[in-house]
Structure 1
Amino acid sequence: MRRACIANPCRRAVSDTAAGHLDDAVRMSTTTMSTPHAHRRRALVPCYLAALAGLLFGLDIGVISGALPFLSKEFQVSDRMQEWIVSSMMLGAAGGALAAGELSSRYGRKSALLVASVLFLIGSALCAAAWSAHVLIVARLILGLAVGVASFTAPLYLSEISPPALRGSMISLYQLMITVGILAAFLSNTAFSFSGSWRWMLGIVAFPAAVLLCGVVALPSSPRWLMSRGRRTEARHILLRLRGDPADADAELRDIDGVLHVQQRGWALLRHQPAFRRSLALGMLLQVIQQLTGINVVMYYAPRILDLAGFASAQHQIGATVMVGLVNVLATFVAIALVDRSGRKAVLYAGFAIMATGMGALAILFHLGVASRFEQVLAVGMLLLLVAGFAMSAGPLVWVLCSEIQPARGRDFGIAVSTFTNWISNALTGATFLSLINAFGPAATFGGYAVLNAAFIAVVFYLVPETRGVTLEQIEQKLLAGFPLRDIGR
């Protein structure tokens, strides 16, 4: 999606001369006025602000579950309309993810984040003021556009602005902030559930959106994007401010130069390179699998599921979802700890087995009938088991694998297509859950998800490569040499 641009040689010569003078000035400044701690703080502040987009992402995922029982009563909406209210955000996110590549490439990562923050602010305010279910759907479409742009641009900006030694941690921070946002939404929902203030549940997102909007204005542009536009002097100036050491800044500039020579040719590769079609298909399949685990039906419809399990009070239903959010956050730390230690496939095996167990146990409980207090608590425990299995495995690892298996010349295109696939699958899952419950009952619905999770273990075994400790170049070489997908890693 992004197009590499090589600076004009004459312009580069002038830029290099200017950069030399700038280097002298900054070297004097850093010697007399700055400290390593100051440079580290200066480099991390933009990263934290960009990670705030992940918090907004998580908030928008989580708030609807608490608001849905109250707004459905006020607007007297059917289950089908509830599905549209939930899934409209994911449809918007699919469109936002497609537009984000061109937006961030043409106007810059900072401008794309600015657009996302404005859309977050407008969408959340319109949600709070919605006077009908149809207006609410439009408002959530706007929020979806914001989520789509942010989910593409924020990790990209973080990867380009973070200090190299902290790049992995900063990208992991973004993923962690999504889970923190979901937990914060569940806590907020619980607080407002006693008054039934669903408008405040949805409108609360406007406050961090305003903070993000103000913060993005002060963010530096991405040095890599500036280099792609031939603005080498500006890129070097920003790197000197962020890194402090001119030698480090110059080394990073040389690395960026090397990357920019790898032009993105996604469409051409798709037409002419069978190996790329295989890696692209695997990336899309992984995103579909991630949604078919059933995780988002829990995130979007947790109070409804708890109602089926015998929790009649809306406050009890929403309060129990807080535990779902907390487990989601804590289990993400497990993924961060295991992904580079135990390997991708081993963690995925464990995660799918845990999710199949949780879904299967829920199916049995609903088939037998959830009557006693013990059975109700057991149902909640199985929901938490499902969430833990997802957060420690398929949640973060699918995104890791989708970026690792694409060749360099098609990586932007491949990630954009897989992100689009994720949101479409997400929307379809959200738009069908209540219909499945009404048509087949909760036992059969959860039983179907259990069977799917068990089947995904076989998919991982036969198709997914083990990429732990393998360079992206080695993965690409094996892919283009025609190795089976499961063998392009270790």
Structure 2
Amino acid sequence: MSTTLTPASSARQGRNRHRGVLGRASWIATLGGFLFGYDTGVINGALPFMTEDLGLTPFTEGLITSSLLFGAAFGALAAGQLADRFGRRRLLMALAAVFLAGALGTAAAPTVGLMVVARVVLGLAVGGASAVVPMFLSEIAPADRRGQMVTRDQLMIVTGQLAAFTVNAGIGNAWGGETHVWRWMLAVASVPAIALWIGMKFVPESPRWLAAQGRYPQMMAVLQKIRSTEDAQTEYDGVRALGAGEDTRRGSFKDFAEPWLFRVLLIGMGMSVVQQITGVNAIVYYGTQILADAGFGTEAALTANIANGVVSVAAAILGIWLLGRVGRRPMLITGLIGTSTTLLLIGVASITMPEGTARGFVVLSLTVLFLAFQQGSISPVTWLMIAEIFPLRVRGLGMGLSVFVQWMANFAVGFSFPMLMAGLGISTTFFIFVALGLCAIVFVKHFMPETRGRSLEQVEAQLRAAGTK
């Protein structure tokens, strides 16, 4: 018995098919975000066992932790230009191979020196993914869903961190007395790296990258896979109209000599610094030590730290929902007020409460609240904004430069935090982050544009007009 599709049901099936292709492409690409989260979060629980095994000092702890961040800065910088040259899809496949090599290298490293080298290699992949994944998502997403789609990467980052915290707690509590237990924590990252490489073989290239190469027929073919016929034609016409007066050469550093583009670059870099000076990665990398110093033992701190991961995931889901309903600027300012307030309270609690379980639970509660503000507003808005504001010709380079600055700020926090804690104590260290958070609020109020509800081409026109006044 045959059935005849009505025009309405046929159109609905077409929409579902397009959304299915788009959804699969976005979730596969965000495995890069998952690896970013796992590889940055796993050091949190591995470090206490690594310290005993390799005989680490506060300096070498900071060096091992921050070596990944140093590599990530240069990985992001190189990835921006490589993504413009070779395409987003092919670069993500290459990064999957680097993720695999870095994960196995850190798991097998016999000395501090080799561990640092392996962490730098792993950092190249982390930094590359941090720049390319949100760029790719912003370019395949329709304008009305771009905020929610790009921030899927943030959701996967915090999901990767939760997975790292959970794996650390499981392995640490089950085999914590065995030698080299931290190696198994690090080796687990090889599994999603393989999955990313395989999955990207089935993902289409970014239509806007194809347009930047002048490959308009291929661009249209991709759009027809991820949009309805009408939407594909409308988007195609808009991109062609914007590019009619421009050449198809790749962007270079010289492009930022244009005053409006230089201003956009400064906004992107400033947003990247704003995300880091909240102090979030002090908690992500050293949360186990912070909780242990507050009153928990190492094993208990490993388990308690899972709460940070759970709240981060829940907050990221909330952030994705909010981005479809709330402006970028008010959402970011609210998050900065929340993180600065919670860090202030952590510092006060550390001064006024005696060391013990009670103080441990207070600090845990405040770090959970801090991460709710950070992962529910600051991080998703930051990654979304730097993926939105650069015009197509320099998007890879501009985002690479912005993320380079972000990772260098991250490196500064990761490297200095153990020494700040040892020299100044937790209270004074967190008070420094509070002061930096207040500076971030001032920057956002004065320089950050509002981009909600605009296509990438409309955002470009808005920023061009603002920068040429």
1:475 aligns with 2:462: yes
Distance 2:465 2:251 in 1: 19
Task: Provide the residue aligned with 1:290 in structure 2.
Answer: 275
Task: Provide the residue aligned with 1:307 in structure 2.
Answer: 292
Distance 1:306 1:294 in 2: 16
The CA deviation string for residues 393-419 of structure 1, in whole angstroms up to 9 with x for no partner, is 221222333345556665444322211
Task: Provide the residue aligned with 1:140 in structure 2.
Answer: 119
Q: What's the CA shift for 1:169?
A: 3.1
Task: Provide the residue aligned with 1:274 in structure 2.
Answer: 259
The CA deviation string for residues 459-486 of structure 1, in whole angstroms up to 9 with x for no partner, is 333443444456515632442233xxxx
Task: Provide the residue aligned with 1:74 in structure 2.
Answer: 53
The answer to whether the Cα contact below 8 Å between 1:93 and 1:145 also exists between their aligned partners in 2 is yes
Distance 2:350 2:47 in 1: 23
Q: Which amino acid is the alignment partner of residue 400 of structure 2?
A: A
SS at match of 2:117: helix
Distance 1:280 1:206 in 2: 35
Distance 1:135 1:60 in 2: 17
Pick 1 or 2: higher relative contact order, CA cutoff 8 A, min separation 6.
2
Question: Aligned in 2, Cα 1:274/1:86: closer, same or farther, shift over 3 Å?
Answer: same
Q: What's the CA shift for 1:330?
A: 1.4
User: TM (normalized to structure 1)?
Assistant: 0.84
Q: Following superposition of structure 1 onto structure 2, how do residues 184-263 of structure 1 map, counting pairs within 5 Å? A: 184-194=163-173, 195-196=175-176, 197-243=181-227, 248-261=231-244, 262=246
Question: Aligned in 2, Cα 1:109/1:57: closer, same or farther, shift over 3 Å?
Answer: same
Q: What's the CA shift for 1:44?
A: 2.7
Task: Provide the residue aligned with 1:92 in structure 2.
Answer: 71
Aligned length: 447
Distance 1:200 1:305 in 2: 23
The answer to whether the Cα contact below 8 Å between 1:94 and 1:420 also exists between their aligned partners in 2 is yes
Q: What's the CA shift for 1:444?
A: 1.1
Of the three residues 42, 46, 54, the one matched with 1:63 is 42
Gaps of 5+ in 2: 1-9
SS at match of 2:164: helix
The answer to whether the Cα contact below 8 Å between 1:266 and 1:414 also exists between their aligned partners in 2 is no
**What RMSD in Å do the two structures reach over aligned CA positions?**
2.6
Task: Provide the residue aligned with 2:381 in structure 1.
Answer: 397
* Same amino acid, percent of matched pairs: 34
Distance 1:440 1:233 in 2: 60
The CA deviation string for residues 338-368 of structure 1, in whole angstroms up to 9 with x for no partner, is 3453433322332222212211111122223
Q: Which amino acid is the alignment partner of residue 92 of structure 2?
A: L
Comparing 131-140 with 273-282, which one deviates more in the overlay? Answer: 273-282
The answer to whether the Cα contact below 8 Å between 2:84 and 2:396 also exists between their aligned partners in 1 is no
The CA deviation string for residues 177-205 of structure 1, in whole angstroms up to 9 with x for no partner, is 11111111111111111213211111101
Q: What's the CA shift for 1:392?
A: 2.3
Distance 1:42 1:335 in 2: 24
The answer to whether the Cα contact below 8 Å between 1:405 and 1:475 also exists between their aligned partners in 2 is no
Of the three residues 97, 100, 104, the one matched with 2:83 is 104
SS at match of 1:337: helix
Q: Which amino acid is the alignment partner of residue 287 of structure 1?
A: S
Of the three residues 401, 422, 428, the one matched with 1:438 is 422
Of the three residues 16, 19, 31, the one matched with 1:52 is 31
SS at match of 1:431: helix
Distance 2:14 2:439 in 1: 55
User: TM (normalized to structure 2)?
Assistant: 0.87
Distance 1:450 1:303 in 2: 21
Of the three residues 331, 340, 357, the one matched with 1:356 is 340
Q: What's the CA shift for 1:332?
A: 1.8
Question: Aligned in 2, Cα 1:153/1:267: closer, same or farther, shift over 3 Å?
Answer: same
SS at match of 1:112: helix
Q: What's the CA shift for 1:374?
A: 2.4
Task: Provide the residue aligned with 2:153 in structure 1.
Answer: 174
The answer to whether the Cα contact below 8 Å between 1:43 and 1:163 also exists between their aligned partners in 2 is no
Q: What's the CA shift for 1:98?
A: 1.3
